[in-house]
Amino acid sequence: MKRFQVSFMPALVVLAIVALAFAGVALVSSTAQAQKTAYKIGAIFDVTGPASPLGTPEQETVKMLVKQINAKGGIDGHPIEVIYYDNGSDEAKSVMAMKKLIEADKVVAIIGPSQTGTTLACAETVQAAKVPMISCAAGNAINEPVKPWIFKTAQSDVHAVKKVLDYCKTKRLTRIAIITVANAFGDSGKKQIEVQAPGSRISVVARESFGSNDTDMKAQLMRIRQSNAQAVICWGTNPGPAIIAKNMKELGIRLPLLMSHGIANRKFIELAGPAAEGVIFPAGKLLVADTLPTNDPQKRVLQAYASDFKKAYGKEADTFGGHAYDALMLVCRALDKVGSDKTKLRAELEKTKGFVGISGVFSFSTKDHNGLDEDAFAMVVIKNGDWARLK
């Protein structure tokens, strides 16, 4: 013990880092730039941490759009400036970022966060500060009951579940087994299925769950095999559903496999490989934009977004980015009409009717702050390693 000596150089380095951290808070927060005519919009996305696959494309989309909008001369002559904060998928950090946006950066509206949890953690703050916020998360708890200042653009699980159950109903699949991932997404899907199934005269005969990092789901699937289910509904995000698709093939379970919009990306097909064939799921229309009929109002918007995103980042656009697209465009639309008064902005947002976005055609009302219905989804089947629209 006594032999131990503190070497000073490394100690000093560490101290310097800590001191910098303290100083940085004062420095950075005091240098919030002010461009006089610019509209300031705040953005909080879950860019790092477990929800980063959601937050990353959202932030990229907003960046791309801001460039586009300002290149076209901004909104009514005002350029827009977006201030981005990353909340590390953490709820406490979301609250900190939210307060900064409202009180330090004095933004007129906020888009994000990306997850239901991080959104709900900010809800009280936003309501009290009376700043309109458009979340990119899907959870129903966000606007049930409706919170006047909070909107959301992601299609609700209610509609995804309805679409899936409708499909089951038309195919006369009345006994279903569900297998859901143990996180907020899977939990919400499970609850919605339980709520809506009786209305469609469908009974849930098996309920299974898997961890987001589980390596093998055969045990759960064997339980489903023992039940007399006619179809399996899996509600989760990568990589779990891909493992389930593989395991089902391996176990020789030939039941129809339905999934959620959580797998509406190329990654799923890549991960599941041939096992992905025949999987049916509801997806935002972005996935099948090219095959939509020409009279579909969304077709043009979807194709433009998809090609712009591909050009800007060299990868395919996904539905999460689409939620951020809608959020920013809704705010810009309202700004264009009523300017930067927050109360008017909120009222204008609530009056939005027939806005054609990526996630669907939005029509808000005092009772509905999501503004979408199940038509926002198309049922998609995976065929030959690609998506095909059903019907």
Partner 1 sequence: MTRFRPSLTMISAVVGILLVTIVPCFVKNSYALVPLTFIAIFTIVVIGLNLLMGYAGQVSLGHAAFFAIGAYTSGILTTQYGFSPWLAMPAGMVLAGLVAFLVGMPCLRLHGHYLAMATLGFGMIIYILLMQWPDFTPMPFERLGALLHIPASLVWPTTGGASGLVDIPELAVGPFVFHENIQKFYLTWAFAILALLLCANIVNSRVGRALRAVHGSEAAAATLGVNIAAYKIQVFVLSAVLAALAGSLYAHVVNFVSPPTFNFIRSVDFVVMVVIGGMASIWGAVLGAGTIVLLGNWLQDVGAKYPRFAEFDLIIHSAILILVMIFMPAGIVCTVRDAVLRWLRGRTAAPTQTAPAHVEEVATK
Partner 2 sequence: MTEPVYARKRIMGNLPDILQLLFTGLAVGSIYAIIAVGFTVIFSSTQVVNFAQGEFVMIGALVSYWLVGAEHGPHLPLLLALPLAVLTAMFVGSALGWVLMRPLKDASVTTLIIITVGASMLMHGIASMLWGKDPVSVTAFSKTSGYSLYLPAALTGPDAYPVYIGTQELWVMGLAALIVLLLTFFFNKTMVGKAMRAVSVNRHGARLIGINVSRMVVGAFALSAAIGAIAGAAIAPISMASYGMGTMLGLKGFAAAIVGGLGNFPGSVIAGLLLGIMENFSATYISSQYKDAFAFIILLVVLVISPNGIVALFRRRRARA
Contact call for residue 238 and partner 2 (CB under 8 A): yes
Residues 202-221 vs partner 2: string with x where CB under 8 A? ------xxxx-xxxx-xxx-
User: Which of partner 2, partner 1, none binds 319 (CB below 5-8 Å, type-dependent)?
Assistant: none
Contact call for residue 329 and partner 1 (CB under 8 A): no
Contact call for residue 370 and partner 1 (CB under 8 A): no
Contact call for residue 371 and partner 1 (CB under 8 A): no
CA dist 199 and 293 (Å) reads: 31
Stretch that binds partner 1, among 2-10, 160-168, 265-273, 362-370 (CB under 8 A): 2-10
Q: From residue 184, give the alpha-carbon distance in Å to each of 14, 140, 219.
A: 38, 11, 22
Angle between helices 184-196 and 157-170 (to 10 degrees): 50
Nearest to 115 by CA among 188, 40, 197, 215: 188
Give me 301's structure tokens: 């918007």
Contact call for residue 270 and partner 2 (CB under 8 A): yes
Contact call for residue 347 and partner 1 (CB under 8 A): no
CA dist 208 and 179 (Å) reads: 4
Residue of 1, 72, 252, 294 interacting with partner 1 (CB under 8 A): 1
Residue of 70, 79, 91, 175 interacting with partner 1 (CB under 8 A): 91
Nearest to 193 by CA among 232, 228, 136: 232
Contact call for residue 87 and partner 1 (CB under 8 A): yes
CA dist 325 and 327 (Å) reads: 6
Surface-to-core class of residue 372, CB atoms within 10 Å of its CB (0-12 exposed, 13-18 middle, 19+ buried): buried
User: Which of partner 1, partner 2, none binds 270 (CB below 5-8 Å, type-dependent)?
Assistant: partner 2
Site for partner 1 in 93-152 (CB under 8 A): 93, 95-97, 99-100, 102-104, 116-117, 120-121, 123-124, 128, 139, 141
Q: Give the footprint of partner 2 on this chain (CB under 8 A).
A: 1, 3-4, 50, 52-53, 56, 182, 208-211, 213-216, 218-220, 222-223, 225-226, 238-239, 242-243, 250-252, 267, 270-273
